[in-house]
Amino acid sequence: MQSAPPLAAAIRPADGMTVQQTPPDFSWPEASKTARYTLNLTYPDGKTRSLPAPQNYANWNAVLPPGKYRWTVTAEGASGHTVSDARTFVVDADSKPFLVPDMKSLAARLAAKPHPRGLPDDRTLAKMAEQRGRATRELRADVEMRTKEQLAPVPNTGSPSADEGRIMDEVKLATNALAAYALFKEDRYYAEALRHAKNMASWDPNGTTAYTRKYVDMGARQLTYTLVLAYDWLYPKLDSSTKSLLLSSIRIRTKQMFDDVIGNRSRVAAEPRESHGQVTATMIGMMATLLVGDVPEAGEWMEKALPLAINLVQPWGGDDGGFSNGTPYAIWDTGTLQPTWYVLRWASGIDLAQKAWVRNYARFLAYFNPPGTPARLFGDGYEQEMFKEQSARFGKGFTYFAPTPLGRWYASQLSGEDPMRFEYLMSPPADFSGPQPFPAGTPNSLYLPTTGWVAMHSELADKDRVSVYFKSSPYPHGAFSHQLADQNSFVINAGGQRLAIESGYYDGYKTRHWWNWLHQTRAANAITYDGGKGQIFFEGTDYKKMGYGKVLKYAGDKSYDLATGDATQAYDGALTQALRSIVYLRPNIVVVHDKLASATPRKWEWNIHSLARFSVLRPDHQVRTDNGGQSLCVDMLTPDAKFSQTDEWQAPEGIKGDGRMVTGAEPVKGAAQWHGRFATGPLAATEFIALLDVGCKGTKAALKKDDGGNWAVEVGGRVVRISTRGEASVE
């Protein structure tokens, strides 16, 4: 499908793309570990400029005026001189400027800037405190109560995960005290923040809290970040011995992080879709802005890490604001980054809120994690209950940082956040308060081409909405990391309840259930064959391949939405065709068509999952599921499929156990879920056409097939037509 390795950096901007940022972010797959690059850009007037690139990415050094541009990359390496294919992009009147500053000039300016650098002015801080009255009251009470508690000893339980949890506990106490001092400038809060900072600085940076210790990296980098904030925010009152104590720990810990993700040649630049590393690179770049002039290596850290972090502000998506690694990790990763974005703006003036992905991320949140949604989507952790608080905390903090009309509406609908957490408490002051109107003219559906995600809602502004989601993700956003082998899958929610669900539980990364069920196609509302076999995912293949999809068509109007996806490649040669069209006729009718083929006759399976046992209304044709007063009826219109269901977590037939993949049922903690399957006998090709009636309103459909093999589904006063090529349309 493509020659670049599956984890390689994406080609940005994609050929023919109209970019939303000028200049756009440039990146390309790494040619070799020793290659040196030059980016060549031909302007609309035919003149060409060239710019040396630090690795396989570049930040162009001038805003590009509207027009069509052509670009190539020249690589110099052991194999000689090579030039990439030429690609074009368009800058139009809507492309927003974002220019990365020269790092040497920025370093000089920062070195001359007094501490604290990473805070806004006193007037802004006072406004933040005023707007968050409840939060600051709780903060004061909590910090004052903690002054009587003993400091935490160095974490040393023998368990990395337990030690990381204890690091995070101490980090939270320290950042609360730091926030209280920043907002109120009272000596008691200074003393408490300093007490915790000195305690963490006394922990051996090469010991149990080291970044280099396996499974402790996230806690270690948060510890380092907190020490850097303490050094910067408390600096005017610190004595020389305390500064030395803090800087000694900071210097060792930051170097560990830098050596891991940047070094002489950055592994994150070469393979940016690695959530831990990409977040770490951003944190290094931001921390360096507070350390330049104080730590000898900080200039190099900033010069190498910050331009990369800005270029890769979100490698899991593109200009359209998507996030392919699932909405749970979108919320977690972006939430982790938010404090660094705040501090970076205050310290350096670099405002990531103006980046194209950041500007559009509010759309992703509003459509794919809308207010009142009962679960997250398309990735590890979608079922976890913690997200109500986290969605509110991170959603509000993000909106304060990068406000848009849709983001303001979205944030105003959220509640339940922990008000003392940094992401909310220390976010920039809001320029709005109270209920916010839903922006007039906002469509009820959204398609994100970069990641191949589609959201279709009855009424986005209504918490009791019907929501239909579809996914068919193109290269490079295949099944990898926390993404599932679920191309061409769908999810249906209604009235705040899950109906057609993603099944399984995120009981840990790479557990037996993770391997056996959660990441398998049979866990999704998608097509499997021969007893539950499905698509490939990166970790599940010995040869490290990913399964990709592709949205071939997206169309609609106020009354309907339609998406067609091609997931053939995701089945890694087992199938010769796997097309699915999903048609949503507002407010409650969904038609799903699958066109499937294989060189070998297969038993074909159309999977549907639910939180409750399916009631069989018409054997082998119609079933119903209910949840929390909401219901979904599924009517299989095409004949010859037999329905069965189970509440067991099963491996595909014929798979041999190897310590992670096991046959039979796989026990897992969590409420029972039901896995329905409409299955055929062995066939070289087949088609499924299903009618899904949200609310079980008794909707009837007439299925017809003409002499040429074209289908027509007459339902709800509309006609859904499906051609022999699998193309769908609505009349």
Topology (CATH level 3) of domain 445-730: Beta-galactosidase; Chain A, domain 5 (2.70.98)
- The residues facing 644 across adjacent strands are 677
The answer to whether the peptide bond before residue 155 is cis (omega within 30 degrees of 0) is no
Residue 568 structure tokens:
């053939």
**Cβ contacts of residue 308 below 8 Å, gap of 6+?**
54, 55, 57, 262, 266, 268, 269, 281, 285
Tokens 């790479």 — which residue?
510
SS3 119: coil
Amino acid code (one letter) for 98: F
pLDDT confidence of residue 686? 97
Give every residue of the chain whose pLDDT is below 50, as ranges.
Answer: 1-2, 656-659, 662-664
Residue 508, CA atoms < 13 Å, CB-side half-sphere:
8
pLDDT confidence of residue 191? 97
288 vs 664: CA distance, rounded Å: 52
What is the DSSP code (8-state) at residue 721? E
Number of other residues whose CB lies within 10 A of the CB of residue 47: 8
From 2, 31, 109, 101, select the one nearest 61 (Cα to Cα).
Answer: 101
Angle in degrees, CA 490, 494, 498, rounded to 5: 65
Q: Give CB contacts under 8 A, 24+ apart, made by 657-664.
A: 660/510, 660/512, 660/515, 660/516, 661/515, 661/516, 662/512, 662/516
676 vs 513: CA distance, rounded Å: 19
Residue 93 structure tokens:
């009147």
470 vs 563: CA distance, rounded Å: 8
From 296, 181, 298, 154, select the one nearest 238 (Cα to Cα).
Answer: 181
Helix count and strand count (H, E) for the chain = 16, 27
- The residues facing 589 across adjacent strands are 585, 693
pLDDT confidence of residue 658? 46
What is the DSSP code (8-state) at residue 560? E
From 194, 175, 195, 171, select the one nearest 183 (Cα to Cα).
Answer: 175
Q: Which residues of 464-488 are buried (b: 16+ CB within 10 A; e: fewer)?
A: ebbbbbbbbbbbbbbbbbbbbbbbb
Angle in degrees, CA 703, 708, 711, rounded to 5: 20
Residue 518, CA atoms < 13 Å, CB-side half-sphere:
29
- Cβ atoms of 423 and 394 within 8 Å: the answer is yes
Tell me what the pLDDT averaged over the chain comes to: 93
273 vs 91: CA distance, rounded Å: 26
SS3 394: helix
From 101, 106, 97, select the one nearest 24 (Cα to Cα).
Answer: 97
Could you tell me the CATH superfamily of domain 17-97?
Immunoglobulins (2.60.40.10)
- Cβ atoms of 196 and 151 within 8 Å: the answer is yes
Tokens 């056409």 — which residue?
689
Domain parsing of the chain, residue ranges: 17-97, 122-312, 315-442, 445-730
- Cβ atoms of 132 and 421 within 8 Å: the answer is no
CB-based burial label for 461 (10 Å; 0-12, 13-18, 19+): middle
Residue 37 structure tokens:
């690059």
Residue 340, CA distances (Å) to 212, 253, 343, 360 in order:
21, 17, 5, 19
- Cβ atoms of 154 and 203 within 8 Å: the answer is yes
From 257, 247, 174, 251, select the one nearest 216 (Cα to Cα).
Answer: 257
366 vs 414: CA distance, rounded Å: 11
Q: What count of residues does the chain have?
A: 731
Residue 707, CA distances (Å) to 403, 640, 686, 712 in order:
55, 20, 17, 12
Residue 598, CA distances (Å) to 583, 602, 684 in order:
25, 7, 5
Number of other residues whose CB lies within 10 A of the CB of residue 715: 21
Could you tell me the CATH superfamily of domain 122-312?
Chondroitin AC/alginate lyase (1.50.10.100)
pTM across the whole model: 0.94
Angle in degrees, CA 637, 638, 640, rounded to 5: 130
pLDDT confidence of residue 253? 97
105-131: per-residue pLDDT in tens?
999 999 999 999 999 999 999 999 999
The DSSP code sequence of 254-319 is HHHHHHHHTSSS-HHHHS---HHHHHHHHHHHHHHHHHTTTSTTHHHHHHHHHHHHHHTS-TTS-T
Secondary structure of 563-619 as H, E, C letters = EEEECHHHHCCCCCEEEEEEEEECCCEEEEEEEEEEEEEEEEEEEEEECCCCEEEEC
482 vs 457: CA distance, rounded Å: 25
- Cβ atoms of 224 and 211 within 8 Å: the answer is yes
**Cβ contacts of residue 79 below 8 Å, gap of 6+?**
32
Specify the pairing of strand 453-457 against strand 489-494: unpaired
Element at 509 (helix H, strand E): none
